[in-house]
Amino acid sequence: MEELRFSRHDLIDPEARVALEQLLAAVPGGIAGIPDVVQRRAVFEALIDSLPAPANPGVSKQNRTIPGPSGDPNLPVRVYRPAGADGTGPGIVFIHGGAMSFGSLETEDAVATMLCDQLGAVVVSVGFRQAPENPYPAPFDDCYAGLVWTAANTAELGFAPGRLAIVGGSSGANLTIAVAMRARDSQGPSIRFIMPFSPMIDDTNTTASSHEITDIGAFDRSHNIECWAWYLGGRPADQYAAPARASDLAGLPPAFIDVGTVDVFRDEAVGFAQRLMAAGVPTELHVHPGAYHGAETFAPESALGRRIWGLRIDAVRRALA
């Protein structure tokens, strides 16, 4: 009997596949395939800048500099405020993605703006040091400092102290979980909800999806291995570096996790969500058929992209009501 063969590309949502093919035509091998990290950052910035971003005149933006971790440099943040903010609405600490090594306040400006606009939330997007120049724990420490500053300045920022969430995707999802764990472990700021989407949380690269997703071109196994090596900088991973290693998940805030079926992080995301549920953490999990890593970014107007962001916005709205 002839063996049936298929390409994982055949599993990608058709609309999202068009966007991926356009990306790979412009950047053969994908963003993460660019070997020089400085060039990778520049190309990613230019690519994101080329994507359409709707105007949101009701959102005001302010670039700030806040204290970094003790003994470390100050941090850039961008504060987004909705029109009519009166101090009773929700607040969000937003942590951008980029495999711990690229991405910036600029590359996810459209996402932070959307969260502010659609949720009526004050959003603080945190800039942080990146690997390989600044490996773990620098990005983690910076993001925790961003949370502490945000929680300490609710009155000035204009949101209700009891309505604070952390949202981040990919490596930003890693940092979202890690920062929430540190807040739990150190009796830090109170967090009502976390949304780590498409999370990069397992440095071992041993899951089935890690071995399956090798040639999609969005973000694959080889890219993940490289970026983990940069982030860890030769030191062993602990639970704050790789949250999949955490032995105790009890007491974390309610969570929303989602991931695509054609995402290298599929199985670590699903496994972590299952462990949260087993630990008694209220958890909502969505697995999106046909979605590769970042599909909703590169194909935001596709039915898939709209569905993904619709579910996310709805989940944050419900959690912070």
Q: Is the pLDDT of residue 3 over 60?
A: no
Average pLDDT (89-93) is 98
Q: CA 104 to CA 171: how far, in whole Å?
A: 12
Q: Give the active site residue among 263, 286, 288, 302.
A: 263
263 a catalytic residue: yes
Poorest-pLDDT segment among 3-7, 171-175, 232-236, 258-262: 3-7
Question: pLDDT for 102-140, tens place per residue?
Answer: 999 999 999 999 999 999 999 999 999 999 999 999 999
Residue range 84-111: mean pLDDT, rounded: 96
Q: Say if CB 271 and CB 244 are below 8 A apart.
A: yes
Under the banding of pLDDT at 50, 70 and 90, the label for residue 85 is confident
pLDDT for 1 beyond 70: no
**CB burial readout 252-287, b (16+ within 10 A) else e:** bbbbbbbbbbbbbbbbbbbebbeebeeeebebbbbe
Mean pLDDT, the chain, integer: 96
User: 215 catalytic, yes or no?
Assistant: no
The two beta strands, 122-126 and 91-95, are parallel
Catalytic residue among 96, 223, 286, 293: 293
What CA–CA distance (Å, rounded) separates 39 from 137?
Answer: 24
2 — pLDDT class (breaks 50, 70, 90): very low
For 22-62, what is each residue's pLDDT tens digit? Answer: 999 999 988 888 999 999 999 999 989 888 777 788 999 99
Query: Per DSSP, which regions of the chain are E strands?
Result: 59-66, 75-82, 91-95, 122-126, 164-169, 193-197, 255-262, 283-292
| Mean predicted confidence (pLDDT) in 202-213 | 97
Out of 3.30.2130.10, 3.20.20.10, 3.40.50.1820, 3.10.129.10, the CATH code matching 8-319 is 3.40.50.1820
Give mean pLDDT, residues 234-249.
98
Q: Where are the beta strands (DSSP E) in 183-307?
A: 193-197, 255-262, 283-292
The residues spanned by each domain of the chain are 8-319
- Which pLDDT value is given to residue 168? 99
pLDDT band at residue 6 under the 50/70/90 scheme: low
DSSP annotation of 90 reads -
Q: Which entry of 101, 104, 125, 170 is annotated as an active-site residue?
A: 170
